[in-house]
Amino acid sequence: MKRHNRAVGRKSPKQLMRSKGKITIRKLPSGVRGLDEILGGGIPEFSFNIIAATPGCGKTTLAHQIAFANATAEKPALYFTVLGEPAWKMLRHQQQFAFFDAAKVGKAVRFINLSDLVLEQDLNVVLQEIIKQVSAANPGIVVVDSFRTVVRKAAVGSGELDMQSFILQLAQFLTGWQATTFLVGEYVEEEIRDNTLFTIADGLLWLWQVTERNSVVRKLQIMKLRGQATVPGLHTIRIGDNGLQAFSRTLGLTGSRTKPVEGRRLSLGIPELDRMLGGGIKEGDSLLVAGPSGTGKSALATQFIAEGLRNGESGIMAIFEERPEGYTHRAGTFGLRLQDAQRQGTLETLYLRPLDLSVDETMQEILDAIGRVGAKRLVIDSLVGFEMALAPGFRADFRESLYRMIGALTGAGITILSTVEVEDTFTALPFSHYAISFLTDDIIRMRYVEIDGQLRKVMVVIKMRGGNHSKDIREYVITDKGVVIIHPRQTDYARLSSGLPERIGRREEIAPEPKATQ
């Protein structure tokens, strides 16, 4: 026992090195929702960073958010303005955002205009003024906005070496003074190669504004951040009342719990369908319900949610086509009182129809709702509506985004039922237009078939990942109880999946819903 304890207490040489010699870099909050996750935890303290973008991307707003999030009277933020947006206009605009705290202005956040100096003096004088102000204020955050105008002035008045020397001295001084620095500037990507500034900088945050057809989307990329593992790629950002909000491509689910391993089966609220699925849908699975309009996809989705509520599992319905009232009304006709659950806070209906959403923003809405109600079940009705709600620029990435979204949510243990509308072709049985079936664990296909002069409905379980399932094509009806699968068919048909079957045996049963006689 003693020996065991010694072994536990002993550290390997690697661990020793880690515990003795390694510096832990403190990470400052960015003040931007979602950005810390993208940055790998926050902004490295004492780092020297560039916020670069073309006009209108939100550089100044981002810099303000960082300043206001970190500034205190003891460790203020110094915000040097240089020939960019006039400081008074900047204040006028920035105070519209919720993060702007007027009480901090002057003491915790101090604005200093360097325009006159930059216009009238050389770089050395500008540097000396920054040194003077920083030495006097002892700031935790320093922003120079726009640093690009300093560089432009230098290009006219000084040589390249002077400029490099200025940047190097500035970086060394500010880091030595234990300030975390942000140089804000208007740059285009081509400038990265030949610009010393980008070599010296520890962090490079690049913002984009992409116009596609009628919509504009803003994106952010952490091109560089020394000493920290950031989330790669382009992340959607949006400027709203709270300032910038970033939507990580990992959807904020890094490190969240993994899929449940117990393999519990969840009922869809339709006993016969549960049997077809081998006992229900596996917890943490993604189920795709595909079928043409009117086949009962939304009804099935409602029953799935309602069954969860009956079993104490909260739910979210993200609907993109039908109005929430329609949903609640239909559920009412099935005897399901969704409004009770909504009142109790165990069900939330998200009606998402703006036309310039990104998948990540939608995801954030859904994740927030999941967090609010502790949801175990999620309905997305429908993927077609979802795609239409996206900005055109995001539609090209719909499949990839959907892959990330479903993977992230099911990884977090949420069971998802998505619907997708497909046309019945009467020659084939497509699952969707998007070739997204690989994204889902399970697929149920609903379709119309013409039998004896009636357009009836059938469903079949196409796929059940990691489990056996019924291969039967089952007829169903939509009654005042919702989707009801009727007794197994006794009459044999061939080519049922084509929608135009041929009866190959004796007719053994009457139509499930009466035929018109007059």
Partner 1 sequence: MSQASPQMRDFAKRLTAHESKGNKSSQSKARVAFQVCEKLRPHIATLMGNAGFQGLLARALALASREAPALRALHVKADGSLAELDELEAQARPVDLAEEGVVLLTQFLGLLAAFIGESLTLRMVLQAHPKLPFNDLDDQRLAK
Binding site for partner 1 (CB under 8 A): 81, 86-89, 91-92, 95, 102, 105-106, 111-113, 115-116
In the complex with partner 1, which residue's Cβ is closer, 97 or 434?
97
Amino acid at 285: D
Q: Of the two residues 60 and 328, which places its CB atom closer to partner 1 in the complex? A: 60
Tokens 């399901």 sit on residue: 336
109: helix, strand or coil: strand
State the nearest-atom distance from the C-beta of 82 to partner 1, in Å.
Answer: 9
Among the listed residues 418, 107, 466, 420, the one whose alpha carbon sits nearest the alpha carbon of residue 279: 466
Q: How far is the CB of 283 from partner 1 (least distance, A)?
A: 52
Token pair, residue 52, equals 């670069």
Closest C-alpha among 76, 413, 449, 416 to residue 292: 449
Min dist CB 398 to partner 1, Å, is 43
Q: How far is the CB of 301 from partner 1 (least distance, A)?
A: 49
What does DSSP assign to residue 30?
Answer: -
- Name residue, tokens 């990942």: 465
Nearer to partner 1, 60 or 221 (CB): 60
Nearer to partner 1 (CB atom), residue 113 or residue 158: 113
* Minimum distance of partner 1 from residue 142's CB (angstroms): 15
Do 512 and 458 touch, CB atoms closer than 8 A? Answer: no
> DSSP 3-state assignment of 246?
strand
Q: CB of residue 57 vs partner 1: minimum separation in angstroms?
A: 24
- CB nearer to partner 1: pick between 133 and 256: 133
Please say whether the beta carbons of 382 and 203 come within 8 A: no
Q: Looking at beta carbons only, is 95 or 254 nearer to partner 1?
A: 95
- Say if CB 455 and CB 511 are below 8 A apart: no
Copy the structure tokens of residue 123.
């770089």
Nearer to partner 1, 90 or 266 (CB): 90
Nearest approach, Cβ of 344 to partner 1 (angstroms)? 41
Beta strands in 19-157 (DSSP E): 27-28, 43-44, 48-53, 77-81, 109-113, 141-145
> In terms of CB distance, is 116 or 502 closer to partner 1?
116
Please report how close the Cβ of residue 105 comes to partner 1 at its closest, in angstroms: 6
> What is the rounded (10 degree) CA torsion for 358, 359, 363, 366?
80
The secondary structure of 33-49, three-state, reads: ECHHHHHCCCEECCCEE
Nearer to partner 1, 102 or 516 (CB): 102
Q: How far apart are CA 348 and CA 369, in angstroms?
A: 7
Helix axis angle, 359-373 to 398-411, nearest 10°: 20
Q: How far apart are CA 416 and CA 379, in angstroms?
A: 6
Least separation in angstroms between residue 97's CB and partner 1 is 13
Beta carbon nearer to partner 1, 84 or 393: 84
Short-list 124, 176, 179, 188, CA closest to 150: 124
Assess contact for 480 and 333: CB atoms under 8 A: yes
Residue 132: CB minimum distance to partner 1, A: 12
